[in-house]
A and B are shown apart, each in its own frame.
Chain A
């Protein structure tokens, strides 16, 4: 720690060499990432426990998540990890123009991810597919037409919100519901979202609103508007959703497993906490972007870009686990 005269500006007074400072920063960030993993570990643990005790809840409820949107977001994040890694490399080489471009793209990917997530959340909110006490899947249809519209309600709202709520009644027949169920059966739920899009089309009257839908300029919204679980009498269509489980084989059509909301609770907690981390990561990216533009970094010193890169990769990695665990059950 002698030789203060040779200290560059970016080197903390308590470090001897830039390497020592870089190594310290990296070790610190890796430790921090370990704490982040453990923070999520609690939720993964809760997920594992509830899924092992109640697999039927997860099998049933995951269909209400939109696999396409999840896949899209996965792709967005993987791509952003690539641009982030490139940014780190360019920063090491001192090519700050490239760094700015690449960080900007990464940041935009972050916005894209959040946008898609917002669309998904909105759809869940509309259908009352929420956690614990807020789980009222029939609520929205009460707004429209009572419980019988349940199954195609996904279509209903997709169209209904923007066009006419009345369509719901037309679509509300049990036939449409069964169609949906059938298509699920046949496809063994490979892609619940698109199934829903297609199923009501065979159902006749609903075809029109679905067709119209792209005019919403929000095709994703349609896909995410999967039918909410039924409550009460119209539930018979739900047989299709759980042909194997049959946990509650009561005479009354209560086919939805009890406590489905546990899944949505875990879904919102995990994706919500992840979303907070995405926002934190984006803030950090914005910060190093600003510093890059200010010319704070050079080929000799770009540690913050490196560290933010590590953080962003972790944020991506968590999602890589969340996507299959939540969207691709069964």
Chain B
């Protein structure tokens, strides 16, 4: 592992050293990637897989929307439609959103931000990736076998009686769960044990706080999903009777088990997104983050509250009135730490010197969309309102505003923000803005319409609908096509950037977290010497350098000795 120190820095004249030897070309061949223990490569492998899953899930979404262009049959039968929305949900949630930011972006960035050479357990990290791949194979096999039609929630008793392939997909999710657990475990230990000198807990970049809170949930909630899915498999394969009313079992118990994981899982999805936004807002406002400790603690608070609200998915499942009231009150309480974050981001921007680069555009879109998503969550947390809105398109719109408007948009913000560090290339800012605008507009056309649909009573997951809903469905479908176009443009300019993009400076945005101390493409071992961590949001540490087209560190300029 240390052999590369001899080669690194020994480049021939003409090309800078970081181009001669970096993590991308340190070793060659497919095998060197598939057996790599380098967190950056593992992060990239996750990124590729996750984007492929996003494409798959997105295609199912477009099929679902296209089917809804007209009442009754448009392109497929009801059975196939059921499989489409199930696969859309399952692929997007288990293969894309949950691992998206932590496993792909987090893997790449987390050790760099800590000034470390790798995560605490590199082998376990690679194992997580393989588990993800195996889990994904099960899902793909399920599709090949003819799909599954239970919805991503696998509610009993339907999931124990349907003829579709529930077992392979549940097994896949079980395996994906372990991938997620191991990633979380790895990150917690890394943050505890591999922080550099000078980086106390309250000098960590906020992304690390968010990932830490996420990892806590991953470790504490996912095993419960694991056992729930094992019970479901046992129920289906052996008729164990625990969820089967015909055998004295309780199907609502499945809902409790499922949501005990899957509600906290919502915070697995959104917390790292919030972390990305914290990282993006500050440098593009050229202002230190406002209310650092509040943002840090609110991540932990969200993680803690997240475990106490699962019952709000079962307001109409026959819970006791007392249970409903408690869950409703706790649900409202989650909005407090979430709102604290949003207020702090807005305050960070206040009187800042805002530059509307692509990552910042996505961050602004995030705040708008997450604001709507979060506030409509309060409608659903109110008991009386929820009875009316439960299982309607209002719910669908709400969680898409949070999951897509929140997590996916933040994922895009993070992808664009760290793209130069990953590949050493810039992308077209112009096309970046165009794609962002299309996605933002398309998203709102698609899902704001669904708030209206839902409040008028359109039930979710239905194949058919009354003619009165037709125009809303058509508007929504058109919106989804606009979004799709935005993503196609995004894919094109990012691919172009890889092949012919302008070479990036080491620190193009002027951020001061440690990952920007590495060369444009980091070397295999990240840092020759562990850097000394300073304030992660003090932008006087860097200044613009027109020669390189990026920012340079003041301390490195004045004397190289400081970094020791």
Contact = CB atoms under 8 A, between A and B. Distances in A.
B224 A38 contact: yes
A28 B185 contact: yes
B230 to A, nearest CB: 8
Contacts of A268: 240
Interface string B131-174: 00000000000000000000000000000000000000000000
Interface of B: 1-2, 5, 111, 116-122, 124, 181, 185-186, 188-189, 192-194, 219-224, 226-228, 230-231, 234-235, 238-242, 244, 247-250, 253, 257, 525, 527, 529-530
Given A1-B117, A28-B185, A35-B222, A134 B2 contact: no
Contacts of A13: 1-2, 117-118, 525
Nearest to A259: B248
- Pick from B124, B193, B230 the residue with the most CB of A within 10 Å: B193
Contacts of B231: 42-43, 46, 269
A260 B239 CA distance: 14
B242 A266 contact: yes
A31 B2 contact: no
15 contacts: A1-B527, A14-B122, A27-B189, A31-B188, A41-B223, A43-B227, A46-B253, A131-B241, A132-B235, A132-B239, A132-B240, A132-B242, A135-B241, A262-B247, A273-B227
Contact of A24 (B2, B111, B193): B193
B32 to A, nearest CB: 17
Contact of B529 (A1, A34, A42, A46): A1
B462 to A, nearest CB: 32
A75 interface: no
B227 A31 contact: no
Given A2-B529, A4-B2, A42 B193 contact: no
Given A2-B530, A14-B122, A27-B193, A38 B242 contact: no
A133 interface: yes
Nearest to A20: B193
A134 B239 contact: yes
Q: In this complex, which of B1, B185, B248 has the most chain A Cβ atoms within 10 angstroms of its Cβ?
A: B248
B536 to A, nearest CB: 19
A14 B194 contact: yes
B302 to A, nearest CB: 19
Interface of A: 1-2, 4, 7, 12-14, 20, 23-24, 27-28, 31-32, 34-36, 38-43, 45-46, 49-50, 131-135, 258-259, 261-262, 265-266, 268-269, 273
B242 A262 contact: yes
A277 to B, nearest CB: 12
Contact of B189 (A28, A40, A259): A28
Contact of A261 (B188, B235, B247): B247
A247 to B, nearest CB: 13
Nearest to A261: B241
B244 A132 contact: yes
Contacts of B124: 28
Nearest to B234: A269
B127 to A, nearest CB: 12
Contact of B223 (A1, A20, A35): A35
Contacts of A258: 248
A4 B4 CA distance: 12
Given A39-B227, A131-B240, A133-B241, A14 B193 contact: no
Given A2-B529, A2-B530, A28 B238 contact: no
Contacts of B1: 13
Contacts of A1: 116-117, 527, 529-530
Q: What are the 10 tightest A-B residue pairs by CB atom distance, in nearest-first order? A: A132-B241, A259-B248, A133-B239, A42-B227, A14-B117, A38-B223, A14-B118, A39-B223, A13-B1, A132-B239
